[in-house]
């Protein structure tokens, strides 16, 4: 049967059950509920609407066979490079210096979310031609939208290889991920660390905990208005304090509690006296935990590590989750049990000269990234053989 690809201008134009039945892997950030919360809070714009303020203008490509959804891509026509975490500002500047237009561009990613996951969402058992049809649909959308380039961000390694065969050049980047090695308890995890790191983590947890009454996990479906208000405030306070951009507009967390009540978790920190003073958002699936958007009203030394890292590690151990991703950046994670992990993207640039220069740069970047990952791994916190202190 023929696979047809059509475009939808809003996630609300797509049946939620059919969309979520596609293979999303362990990652929840392209689930119907997450995208709906982004649209409903106007953190991204449905391209079908006249109002377009975020610079993330959504187009959902739907691959259908006999009117049944067998694949999809969440694509965004963008007028800037904010909120991507695999940055191309240098590419945009090079284009400008050469007198070339770089925006709009087409991005296939989870908005404002640096988490690896499938970007070609395909139904189990769908014909192999589904992926080819979606890739062709993306290229056609880039032409129709007059985009200078196409960027698949935080795709899987398998997708990157497929896209390279389809004419997209690969780019390498890295994050720090925590992987569960079958630990039964947090103490089991600590036992796998070098002794100095083990002592450091215990001290950090104790120093953070002595200033608070408790730390609690609250499912999204049980969050009250006041808790969601506080989570929103914590997020904006952190963005302001660190010069960041609040990509998630007011109302996003409230909408997410409605659209992904099971996957959403808030870790709330209660100070001595019963006042909520800090918190973080987590999203949990049966195969992974993702930590996001830590913030606090007060400064408590090491509380960030306790809330955003150690609580997540403990949760992953308790829930038998194999993977915990705590967001972008942060070599400081290396000493706290996280390990360097490759991340993947694939790109196409319309202008041949600019494309050749950027592709050559990415080849050199990939060699340097491989060396960096290997070097960082040598300084990890885990014991190697009988060498407990090295």
Provide the terminal-to-terminal Cα distance of the chain, rounded to the nearest Å.
60
* pLDDT, tens digit, 9 for 90 and up, residues 71-99: 999 999 999 999 999 999 999 999 999 99
Does the pLDDT of residue 384 top 80, yes or no? Answer: no
Q: State how far Cα 22 lies from the chain centre.
A: 18
pLDDT at residue 203, as a whole number: 95
d(CA 360, CA 376): 25
Residue 114 shares a structural domain with residue 230: no
Is a pLDDT exceeding 50 seen at residue 385? no
Q: Please tell me the predicted confidence (pLDDT) of residue 368.
A: 94
Same domain, 260 and 135: no
Whether residue 192 is contained in a domain is answered as yes
Please tell me whether residues 160 and 202 are part of one structural domain: no
- Residues 351, 274, single domain; the answer is no
Q: What is the 3-state secondary structure (H, E, C) of 13-58?
A: HCCHHHHHCCCCCCCCCCCHHHHHHHHHCCCCEECCCCCCCCCEEE
Enclosing domain of residue 282: 181-321
Contact 300, 272 (CB under 8 A): no
Q: What pLDDT digit, counting tens, does each position of 92-124 carry? A: 999 999 999 999 999 999 999 999 999 999 999
Q: Is the dihedral of CA 385, 386, 388, 390 positive or negative?
A: negative
pLDDT over 90 at 327, yes or no: no
C-alpha triplet 101, 353, 138: angle, nearest 5°? 60
Regarding whether 345 and 295 lie in a shared domain, the answer is: no
pLDDT at 329: 74
Q: Residue 298 falls within a domain, yes or no?
A: yes
Confidence band, pLDDT 50/70/90 cuts, at residue 389: low
Asked if 22 and 151 sit in the same domain, the reply is: yes
Evaluate if residue 388 carries a pLDDT over 70. no
Same structural domain, 122 and 138: yes
Same domain, 27 and 123: yes
pLDDT, one tens digit per residue, over 168-209 is 999 999 999 999 999 999 999 999 999 999 999 999 999 999
CATH code, domain carrying 237: 3.40.630.30
What's this model's pTM, rounded to 2 decimal places?
0.94
Q: What is the mean pLDDT of the chain?
A: 94
Confidence of residue 241 (pLDDT cuts 50, 70, 90): confident
Q: What does the pLDDT read at residue 50? A: 59
Same domain, 212 and 169: no
């Amino acid at each position: 049967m023929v696979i047809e690809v059509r475009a939808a201008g809003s996630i609300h134009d797509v049946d939620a059950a059919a969309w979520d039945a596609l293979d999303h892997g362990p990652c929840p950030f392209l689930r119907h509920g997450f995208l709906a919360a982004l649209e409903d809070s106007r953190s991204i714009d449905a391209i079908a609407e006249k109002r377009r303020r975020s610079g993330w203008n959504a187009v959902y490509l739907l691959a259908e066979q006999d009117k049944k959804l067998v694949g999809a891509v969440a694509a965004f026509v963008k007028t800037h490079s904010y909120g991507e975490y695999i940055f191309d500002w240098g590419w945009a500047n090079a284009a400008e210096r050469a007198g070339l237009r770089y925006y709009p561009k087409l991005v296939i990613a989870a908005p404002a979310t640096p988490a690896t996951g499938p970007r070609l969402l395909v139904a189990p058992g769908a014909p192999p031609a589904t992926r080819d049809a979606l890739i062709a649909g993306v290229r056609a959308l880039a032409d129709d939208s007059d985009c200078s380039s196409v960027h698949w961000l935080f795709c899987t390694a398998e997708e990157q290889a497929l896209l390279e065969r389809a004419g997209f050049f690969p780019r390498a980047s890295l994050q720090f991920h925590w992987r569960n090695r079958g630990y039964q308890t947090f103490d089991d995890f600590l036992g796998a660390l070098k002794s100095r790191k083990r002592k450091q983590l215990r001290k950090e947890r104790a120093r953070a905990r002595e200033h608070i009454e408790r730390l609690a996990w609250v499912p999204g479906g049980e969050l009250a208005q006041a808790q969601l208000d506080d989570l929103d405030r914590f997020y904006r306070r952190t963005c302001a304090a660190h010069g960041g951009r609040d990509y998630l507009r007011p109302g996003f967390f409230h909408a997410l509690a409605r659209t992904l009540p099971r996957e959403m978790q808030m870790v709330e920190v209660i100070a001595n006296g019963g006042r909520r003073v800090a918190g973080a958002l987590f999203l949990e699936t049966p195969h992974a935990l993702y930590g996001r958007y830590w913030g606090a009203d007060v400064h408590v030394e090491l509380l960030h590590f306790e809330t955003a890292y150690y609580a997540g590690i403990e949760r992953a151990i308790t829930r038998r989750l194999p993977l915990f991703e705590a967001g972008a950046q942060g070599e400081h994670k290396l000493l706290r049990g996280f390990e360097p992990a490759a991340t993947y993207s694939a790109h196409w640039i319309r202008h041949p000269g600019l494309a050749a220069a950027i592709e050559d740069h990415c080849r050199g970047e990939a060699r340097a990234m491989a060396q960096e990952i290997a070097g960082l791994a040598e300084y990890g916190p885990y014991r190697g053989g009988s060498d407990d202190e090295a």
